A and B are shown apart, each in its own frame.
Chain A
Amino acid sequence: MSGVRKAVTVHVPTVNDRLKDFDALFSLWQFTNGDNLDVTFDFSQCHFLRQNAVAFLGGLARLIKSRGGSANFLFETLEPKVFDNLLEKGFPQAFGYISDQWKGNSIPYREDKVERKDELVAYLKGLWLGRGWVKVSELLANEIAGTVWEIYANAFQHGKSPIGIISSGQYYPKWRELHLTIVDFGVGIPSNVRSYLNHINMPADKAIEWAMRDANTTKPRTAGPPGGIGLGLLKEFVKINAGYLEIFSHDGYLYINKDRETFLARETFFEGTLVTIKLKCDKRYYLLSSEVEKETKS
């Protein structure tokens, strides 16, 4: 990674969760996709950042650093309410800003380079689900944590992310929704599927669709035990519990809720994988596996 250093400034826009907001994030990745870049992130044009943007920007900063560059966030250019929200998440603190973290409605920003299962389960059960926003039994909280773990397991097993896996969440009281975004900057789902099926021209959306089917895994049999049911379980879970699952990987896109499954080929490319899961904070939406079976049989 030796070579000429280049300094660039990027202006982070307001980022919500519409498709064009993700395009804006992926454009930042494209703009900073090189070695030895000294990148300054300016927030003077940003009025709101969702948890998807927080996870993505954190990962992007680590990626830039892993490529011999540096990332500098100009936190002083943030509007106070946006900065407060980032402080709640512990985001500036992860990049050297000294402050006492406080919680509000945020779920902490988190980076995992290795699979620390007990810490991650504690995060999911205690800091994401367990803040009293979703009133579910411990049994059901365990089911939800196990199901969401499938996203992490998939990323650790297949993602090949040079900087690990980044998570950030948020509770939205207005909609009574709990969101969690998990992003890696690895090879992406389509790359794994194309390589496994030896189908280099397979469209990204078709590759994601293939990966979401039960029993489909990109792991060679010689690599050990079978796999491939985790994403299917996740899909089933959001359909039953009125949540949604959204995946961006390369130029492929997936959106699943209880009513529809949408796979799209998009124009904006991002090499890694970004997954967002949304849960409704209303216990009426939640069923234990045993209750689902009873309803299915009756």
Chain B
Amino acid sequence: MSIFVSKLVGENAITLADGQKIFEQIYPPLKSNKAVQLDFDGVKVFASPFFNGAVGQLLKDLDWNEVDRLLEFINLSDFGRKLVDRVKQNAKQYYTNPTIRAAVDKAISEQADNT
């Protein structure tokens, strides 16, 4: 299936909320092992929160190799591709690095203790 990003978020793909809109469209088919094309024709400005929301959180419970195989980015600028690469690397670290996870879990448990 193809998803035209500009139809959902306009020409500025920069916010986490917009990224979430895309995530909600692509997560179900990817989870069902179906290929998805994200078409960025008409999108001009990119920023990392958008890709964190759209792509980064996929890694929370999908295998990244599978996401790489199934998810295709087309008409994406070099800057957009650079951001996607950074977001992917960051998400891998975020969801798999034990140090980061330990710090997060500690903060969360302490927050819970205080409520």
Contact = CB atoms under 8 A, between A and B. Distances in A.
Interface of A: 115, 117-118, 121, 125, 138-139, 142-143, 145-147, 149-150, 153, 157, 195-198, 214-215, 217, 220-222, 224-230, 233, 288-290, 293
B45 A153 contact: no
B45 A225 contact: no
A247 B63 CA distance: 38
A224 B16 contact: yes
A225 B77 contact: no
Contacts of A288: 78-79
Contacts of B83: 146, 233
B88 to A, nearest CB: 10
12 contacts: A117-B12, A118-B10, A125-B45, A142-B46, A146-B46, A196-B107, A226-B57, A226-B95, A229-B86, A229-B90, A233-B48, A233-B86
Interface residues of B, number: 42
Interface string B31-64: 0000000000000111111001100110000000
B71 interface: no
Contacts of B106: 198
Given A147-B47, A150-B48, A229-B86, A117 B14 contact: yes
Contacts of B49: 150, 153, 157, 227, 230
B91 interface: yes
A224 B107 contact: no
B14 A121 contact: yes
Interface of B is mostly: helix
A115 B86 CA distance: 24
Interface of A is mostly: helix
A235 to B, nearest CB: 13
B1 interface: no
B6 interface: no
Given A227-B48, A227-B49, A197 B15 contact: no
Contacts of A142: 44-46, 77, 79
A117 B51 CA distance: 15
A225 B52 contact: yes
A146 B79 CA distance: 9
- List 3 A-B pairs, minimum CB-CB distance, nearest first: A226-B94, A225-B57, A290-B78
A214 B94 CA distance: 11
B26 interface: no
Nearest to A197: B103
A225 B56 contact: yes
Contacts of A228: 90, 94
B89 to A, nearest CB: 8
A27 to B, nearest CB: 34
Given A214-B86, A289-B79, 14 more contacts: A117-B18, A121-B12, A139-B77, A142-B77, A145-B45, A150-B49, A153-B14, A157-B49, A196-B103, A215-B94, A221-B94, A227-B52, A229-B86, A288-B79
Contacts of B2: none
A280 B52 CA distance: 30
